[in-house]
Chain A
Amino acid sequence: EVQLVQSGAEVKKPGESLKISCKASGYSFTNYWIGWVRQMPGKGLEWMGIIYPGDSDTRYSPSFQGQVIISADKSINTAYLQWSSLKASDTAMYYCARLRPQDFDYWGQGTLVTVSS
């Protein structure tokens, strides 16, 4: 059974760094792209970027390029999304999802990130 299990909710202050994770199981992690999707409170879905764990090839949405870093560790079947300096506007739910290769067929449960002073 394919599963994507994300790390727990985070509460951070502006300027702090953060790395959230997405652990995959039930399929060959290195053979599928993994994507990250942002959903701000009460808003729609936004595609942030994707990574191919097989060779770490990474693509970013222009809106998120330079704002976040997407990475993966294929030895532990885990993808990551990280910030070096959080802003209040980063407050959102973040989802990881498997790309099949055009549609996202499996999704994580989401990680809520709250940035507040």
Chain B
Amino acid sequence: QSVLTQPPSVSGAPGQRVTISCTGSSSNIGAGYNVHWYQQLPGTAPKLLIYNNSNRPSGVPDRFSGSKSDTSASLAITGLQAEDEADYYCQSYDNSLSGSVFGTGTKVTAL
């Protein structure tokens, strides 16, 4: 059971902006811990997409952006492309579990 809740799916037309929410609580995101985002393309290992709430690793396109506020975080894809179809997961630290936690995951579909 995950303590970070994401919508099961989001979709949009190519070129549109889509956002994925990640809702936590006072023991994880609300406690000030950073949020990180991963992209998992079909049949592949997860890949780090955003770290420390809003930072992109080298090579990640700038159409991906992240933000955090209170007990939640968001990932935005501006200018959705067909190649962005994947599962996306948020991750943070939870002090009641004394370890990392992943979100429930969101499947992004380009219509």
Contact = CB atoms under 8 A, between A and B. Distances in A.
Contacts of B101: 47
Interface in B25-78: 33-34, 36, 38, 40, 45-48, 51-52, 57
B104 interface: yes
A103 B36 contact: yes
Contacts of A95: 45-46
Nearest to A64: B99
Contact of A109 (B2, B45, B99, B102): B45
Interface of A: 35, 37, 44-47, 49-50, 59-62, 95, 97, 99-100, 102-110
Contact of B104 (A44, A50, A102, A109): A44
A108 B51 contact: no
Contact of A102 (B33, B40, B47, B57): B33
A49 B98 CA distance: 10
Nearest to A48: B99
A45 B48 contact: no
Secondary structure dominating the interface of A: strand
Interface of B: 2, 33-34, 36, 38, 40, 45-48, 51-52, 57, 87, 89, 91, 93, 97-105
A61 B99 contact: yes
A44 B48 contact: no
Nearest to B98: A59
16 contacts: A44-B89, A44-B104, A45-B46, A47-B91, A47-B101, A50-B99, A60-B99, A62-B97, A99-B100, A103-B36, A103-B52, A103-B91, A105-B51, A106-B48, A107-B45, A107-B47
A47 B34 contact: no
A100 B104 CA distance: 22
Given A95-B45, A102-B34, A44 B99 contact: no
A107 B48 CA distance: 9
